[in-house]
Structure 1
Amino acid sequence: MTPVVELVEHAPAVGLTLPEVVGRALAATRIVDASPDPYTPGQWLLRAGSKVGAVTITVPGDGSRSVTVRITPKVPITRLFFLLGYSLDPRGGWRDGQVDMAEQRDVLPALAHAVERQIDRALRQGLIQGYHSTDETAAVVRGRIREADQMRRRFGATFPVEVTYDEFTTDIAENRILRAAVERLLRLPGVPNDVRRRLLRQRARLADVTSLVQSQPLPVWHPTRLNARYHPALHLARAVLDGASADHAPGGLRIDGFLFDMNKLFEDFVTVALREALRGTALTGRLQDAHHLDEAAAIRMKPDFVLYGPQRTPLAVADAKYKAEKRGGFPDSDLYQMLAYCTALGLPAGHLIYAKGNAPHAAHRVRHAGIVIHQHALDLDQEPTGLLNSVTAISQQMHTN
């Protein structure tokens, strides 16, 4: 039986007795901090960081060993999926009631449930169709002849002919992405049996759609009026497929599961919410905006969010920090980083935005510089409306300083 390790995000280290090979495998993956207990032989100290979810790690070789790690987020599951949904689709995908999370306790079952429900809603009226371009070698002319390919491959022969044609079909990018997400979830351990059965029904609906090859780039889709009912499902499907799921790790270890990085999730939510708070104004916000610290443009920096005025003049800068790691308050290194941003952008103020931890709002005026660095704390235990109102208040402070 595969041992199960239960951890809580950013909680104190837990001591567990594990086989040496399993402990070293956990340390190699860096999913959690793992180190041998110096005082208790055979025991390992495990501490979860910002990654939450569930994975099963299998050590290869004769008598292979496996261990399942479940990391519970400190925020409720409903709040985690609000942060995710709003980041992906701030104008609709996060609305309460779209995905029922009331009975979900763990991240992976909740994710599988959410994806299946959204795909079911998307496909209730049938699969959407679109034009799919196909290159083919044919015995008859269909569509357009690819003249360059015909000359290169057929040396001037009339048949067979290299053609390109557009076919109106359900085998399009949107449906392929949905099928890929369903198949990914079906491969993961820990998906509840009832959700797995529903996912199998969704795969049957998508049976005529091409199955994507793992590790290949996902097909590109563009939001339109015709695929509007697919948008929430496609956004969640991309969350499943975009790199948070890992299949292999160093040393041939196999990882089956799904992890959210709460640092990235919080950063995405804060920056998207700040940008949305500016909607309808003459101001704009740019995410991960690239700048340089030095005049020679050798030292690159990318603040999470830069606020610009009508003439594309920088007005304020912000960085999102999920956790304050220092017992006495916010880390000093964050202040130094923000000071560099403000100096390079010529700004009188900067804003650090944290998930609420052990320190209240603070403001620091830098000596001999006149720069004020604000440190804000967002309470993630608030209901969505209150949380968005808090971000709006920070946005207003940023462009009124």
Structure 2
Amino acid sequence: MSNITPLGGTGPPITDDAAVGTDPPTTPLSLGEHDHTEPFPVSDADAEFLDTMEERFGMTPITATFQRDGQVVLSSDAHVGVLTLPSGLRIEVTPKTTVTRLLWALQYAFDTPVDTLDEETEFTSASSFFDAIGTLFHAELQSVFAEGLHRDYVPTNTIETQVKGRINVQQQLQRPSPVTTDFAVNYDEHTTDNQLNQAVLAALQALLYLVSDDKLAARLRTQSQRLQQYTTTTSITPADIRNIQLSRLNEHYAALLKLATLVLERKFFEDVRAGTQRSLALFVNMNHVFERIVERAFRDATRNTTHRVEDQATIPNLIDGPHAVSMRPDVLIRNTDDEPLLVADAKWKTHSESPTAADIYQLTSYILTLDIPGILIYPGREETTATSTVGDQQLRSFEFPTDEPATTYDEYVHELQAAAQHCLDKV
């Protein structure tokens, strides 16, 4: 499965002083993918923040180009998400379709059951990236509530009226009464108040500050009150999140944990919960989301066949020796004898330009190595763009209708699965 790990973190606090000198054309500032703003002035604090994003976050989801007059032009790429500057200016990058389509794309990528969305969510142009995340989070948490909250054994140190577990001798000797009627004990309690549920609650409380839709906020608030009956609010670090391991007993948390990680990563949630607003960056790479969409669509299309879909497969190198590089196509389809039949690579490009040389060379390497047909898959294309040959094999490019004018999520999914089936039928 493609990695849908969020990227981002926190920066300096938001202050009134940092806002002096920043004059954006709109507030908040909205961009599509591969979009850019008109030049506008920014404060020194905002300029320094924009200039050090790579150092702070290990990425540059928005590129800042400074003009000679000191004004800045902001440009987006394939990352979608939110950036808040020290001045408080909020910059949102969403796909050029709609936030509803973003919701559907994330829902399909995260494999969130549509029937858990108990009421239709209407997004508008004012809806934010976090409204899409919040809607998915609500749906997944409803599913977890229905299946049951995870219980785990948690070390407990407390005072009891009878001996339970092991007596904490040191603490017992420090009890004020020489003849005590209660006991300091240590034991493992099987409880819902564990780190997994605490992480979900922390993410839920952070989302309450981030979503812009009032109805969605009310639904999340109800869930928060319900979850607080079973677990406590506590500080969760990024290391805590990464160390949470799922098993067959709590695998129904898988999508919810990914979403919680998306909200909690890099500790910006602690600042939000504490009421100290900080600049932040939180983005999802749509390349990774699209890879997951394509892989899942092929799985759905081959579910009742003898074919097997292998995602991010490692295949033999075309070149041996010190110049060999690892080759991992997004999708590899095999038959029942484990023989490769078709290789596919997904490229999230929202413009109508032709496939790049790099795209072609990469897929050509897979085709030559495996001696099978290959396809390039792009989002939102109206028809098959080209057919070429590599040796005796075909190289084709296909659309996946991520911007199809579907009216429901079911229709959207049907179109994706039909596109995958169309690819299989053509090769």
Regarding TM over 0.5, the answer is: yes
1:123-134 aligned within 5 A: 123=145, 128=149, 130-132=151-153, 134=155
Out of 195, 215, 225, the position equivalent to 2:238 is: 215
Aligned partners of 1:244 and 1:258 also within 8 Å: no
Number of matched pairs: 358
Deviations 1:171-221 (A, max 9, x none): 246533421321332454x54555445444433322342435221233233
1:48-87 aligned within 5 A: 48-58=76-86, 65-87=87-109
Alignment-derived partner of residue 153 in structure 1 = none
With CA pairs under 8 Å and 6+ residues apart, which has the higher RCO, 1 or 2? 2
Out of 348, 362, 374, the position equivalent to 1:350 is: 374
Greater CA drift, 281-290 or 5-14:
5-14
**Which amino acid is the alignment partner of residue 287 of structure 1?**
D
Alignment-derived partner of residue 416 in structure 2 = 387
Alignment-derived partner of residue 184 in structure 1 = 206
Unaligned runs of 5+ in 2: 1-15, 54-59, 168-182, 269-276, 407-411
1:2-401 aligned within 5 A: 4=27, 5-29=29-53, 30-38=60-68, 41-58=69-86, 65-89=87-111, 93-95=113-115, 97-98=117-118, 100-104=120-124, 105-116=127-138, 118-119=140-141, 122-123=144-145, 128=149, 130-132=151-153, 134=155, 165=188, 167-172=189-194, 175-186=197-208, 188=210, 191-192=212-213, 195-196=216-217, 198-207=219-228, 208-210=230-232, 211=234, 213-218=236-241, 219-222=244-247, 235-242=255-262, 246=266, 255-256=279-280, 258-293=282-317, 294-296=319-321, 298-323=324-349, 328-344=353-369, 346-357=370-381, 360-366=384-390, 369-382=391-404, 383=406, 384=412, 385-397=414-426, 401=427
Alignment-derived partner of residue 156 in structure 1 = none
Secondary structure of 1:339's counterpart equals helix
Aligned partners of 1:35 and 1:45 also within 8 Å: yes
What is the TM-score with the length of structure 1 in the denominator?
0.75
Deviation at 1:275, TM superposition (A): 1.9
Alignment-derived partner of residue 155 in structure 1 = none
Aligned partners of 1:246 and 1:256 also within 8 Å: no
Q: What's the Cα RMSD here?
A: 3.7
| Identical counterparts, % of pairs | 23
Secondary structure of 2:89's counterpart equals strand
Aligned partners of 1:309 and 1:315 also within 8 Å: yes
Secondary structure of 2:39's counterpart equals strand
* Alpha-carbon distance in structure 2 between the residues aligned to 1:290 and 1:126: 36
Deviation at 1:373, TM superposition (A): 1.2
Deviations 1:120-147 (A, max 9, x none): 5654x696353425387999986699xx
Secondary structure of 1:221's counterpart equals coil
Q: Which has the higher helix share?
A: 2
Aligned partners of 1:142 and 1:163 also within 8 Å: yes
Alignment-derived partner of residue 170 in structure 2 = none
* Alpha-carbon distance in structure 1 between the residues aligned to 2:166 and 2:335: 49
**Which amino acid is the alignment partner of residue 350 of structure 1?**
G
Secondary structure of 1:15's counterpart equals coil
* Alpha-carbon distance in structure 2 between the residues aligned to 1:197 and 1:257: 25
Secondary structure of 1:17's counterpart equals coil
